[in-house]
Structure formats: structure tokens, C-alpha cells
Amino acid sequence: MILIKTKDMKNLENKSWKADGQKYLKELQAFLDKAENIENEGLKKDIIFQMLKCDKELTLLAEKKFKEFSTNIEESTEDD
């Protein structure tokens, strides 16, 4: 099976993939809107901070997988 790096894959490497995710941005805004209604300021900050830590870890994991996928594609095309 021959894998070819597409134009979209190359573009993905060169820009922030999350910024283009309209559904992601919509869901993030919905979360922040709901968090805004938490009256206890300490709890509100803790919840938002924890969600941002989870988001960061998920982002790092996804970027690692993108890089692995890209590397595997490059190695596959070099062998041909």
C-alpha cells in the first residue's frame, strides 16, 4: 500500500490545526459560557484551569500522532 502525503497533510503541519476547527471553537465557547455562570470564583478558576490542562495534554497527544503519521508516510514514500 502506497501512502502519499497530500496537500492538506502538508498544510496541517504548517498551521494550528485547532484554530481551524469550528466545532472545537464552538464547544470551547459553550464551555466558557457555562463556566461564567459559576458564582464561586475559586471553583470557576479551578474548573477552567483543569479543562485547559486537559486540552493542552490532548493537543500534545494529537500533535504527536500527527507527527508520527507524517513520518510514517514520508518513510513509506521514500521506500518506493
Cell reading at 52 = 485547559
pTM metric for this prediction: 0.62
Check residue 14 and give its pLDDT. Answer: 54
Domain boundaries, the chain: 20-78
Among residues 63, 66, 78, which one has the least CA distance to residue 3? 78
- Distance spanning both ends of the chain, measured CA to CA: 10
Check residue 19 and give its pLDDT. Answer: 72
Check residue 24 and give its pLDDT. Answer: 86
Q: How far apart are CA 70 and CA 75, in angstroms?
A: 9
Mean pLDDT (10-residue bins), the chain, 80 residues: 48 63 89 95 95 93 88 72
Check residue 51 and give its pLDDT. Answer: 94
Check residue 2 and give its pLDDT. Answer: 42
Check residue 4 and give its pLDDT. Answer: 47
Task: Specify whether the backbone of 37 is left (phi greater than 0), alpha (psi in -120 to 50) or beta.
Answer: alpha
